[in-house]
Amino acid sequence: MPHRVGRPPPQGGCRDSHRPGCRSQKKLIEDAYTLGASLGLAVWCEDEAGPFQAVPHPGRSWQPEGHPAHQPHEYVREGTAKVLTMFRPADGRVRMQGATSVTNAVLHPWAKRELTAILAELPAAPPTEEAPRAGWERWQSGLVAPLTLPQQLPPLRVLLVLDNLAGHKTPSFVLWLFAQGIMPLFTPLGGSWLNMAESIQRVLKRRALDGQHPTSPAEVIDRFAAVARHWNASPTPFVWGGKRAARRKRGRERRHAVGGSGACTRQPLRRRYGHGRGK
């Protein structure tokens, strides 16, 4: 085995300091989740899930007593399907469409159609005398390679979290987003966990396919569509971090009272026992 020189390769996603701008991308996305609504901005997430095979999927399923589910003895590939997802964490609503391939020719028209419908549901942007550029530049603060903003910008209305894929960064698509008042926020390399659309896709996948045996890509798509309709009938809002993140924050900010006044320390003081104890 050759002798290793220098630091080992990174193992923790975007925690490595050799990826400049990673922390800035993470912070911008977290700010979008926690501060976007208070700034009057709608926050949506976009992602593509799959491919999902038309084969028996493991999991529980409802069966008559004494008649367990049977699996075919032959393994036959019947094709695959993918799912395009738009998700709004604030209210839990999901917009979904199935496809057998997700090329730019499929992704971009669908995304434009869904985003146009999303913008139509938002209240009209209030007129402002100030240039809106500062509101846009705030969401590129600290980035090593920020996007080039056009000279003329409409009021910012939507923050869109996307994975760091080449198809999401096509110049024509990004310029279309800018023209509609949508700011794309791309996850860093290895940071797809920052996209909350990943979570809703996992929930819907379990409900649509666990314990089921779809026989065609069309059936896979129909199952996802049915589950999405049922979800939207009573959606569950998603919160970034939730109670666990609040506990970690309290732990980081925990203070230790010294006594005698209102003074506190960030770290507990060591007590010396022996001579002079009690003094």
169: domain CATH number? 3.30.420.10
In the block, which residue shows the tokens 């104890």? 277
Range of the domain at 233: 17-55+75-120+136-242
Q: Is residue 253 part of a domain?
A: no
Res 143: pLDDT? 84
Q: Is residue 128 part of a domain?
A: no
Domain count, the chain: 1
Strand-pairing partners, residue 93, are 88
Q: Is residue 207 part of a domain?
A: yes
Helix boundaries (H) for the chain: 22-35, 104-121, 133-137, 171-179, 197-209, 217-233, 242-252
Res 33: pLDDT? 92
Name the percent of the chain lying above pLDDT 90.
Answer: 33
Res 225: pLDDT? 93
In what order do the strands lie in the sheet containing 93-99? 93-99, 80-88, 42-53, 158-162, 182-186
* Distance in angstroms (rounded) separating the CA atoms of residues 188 and 163: 8
Q: Which of 19-23, 186-190, 273-277 has the lowest mean pLDDT?
A: 273-277
Q: Is residue 196 part of a domain?
A: yes
Q: Is residue 105 part of a domain?
A: yes
Res 208: pLDDT? 86
- pLDDT tens-digit map of 78-103: 788 899 999 999 999 999 998 888 88
- Whether the pLDDT of residue 37 is over 60: the answer is yes
Q: Is residue 182 part of a domain?
A: yes
Res 249: pLDDT? 74
* Distance in angstroms (rounded) separating the CA atoms of residues 207 and 227: 7
Residue 226: closest CA among 249, 206, 208: 208
Q: Which of 14-23, 34-43, 238-247 has the lowest mean pLDDT?
A: 14-23
Name the pLDDT band for 132 (thresholds 50, 70, 90): confident
